[in-house]
Structure 1
């Protein structure tokens, strides 16, 4: 089997990540999480155009819980 060799864009991202402080990486992770949540909320709103904010929040929490259960099952199989 051939060893993994990152592509040039991946190498650039790896080099950037290794030169970033832990605080900067944490902030970037939080920003990505917030963006992901907004995207999911927008999808929920598209699927449920008459839903109020409380319903959107409940459906978002349900999707997050489903994702956690799926991840837990995946990790348990390893």
Structure 2
């Protein structure tokens, strides 16, 4: 996985939402991740470049999602 968001992503950097929820159940449930993705325009995920749409299929850029996630910590 790349460590800087300005590098070109590789296939290892991209995940389907269900796979990300399965890989990290200690961080969020599938329902919570679905809610975040449904509200991606409002919560900044789209602006962060964390969500990729290919046709009607949605993918997550894992490093950009992590950067967004960490920027919301208290």
Q: TM-score, normalised by structure 2?
A: 0.29
Using structure 1 for the length normalisation, give the TM-score.
0.28
Instruction: Judging by fraction of residues, say which structure has more helix.
Output: 1
Instruction: Identify, as 1 or 2, the structure richer in strand.
Output: 2
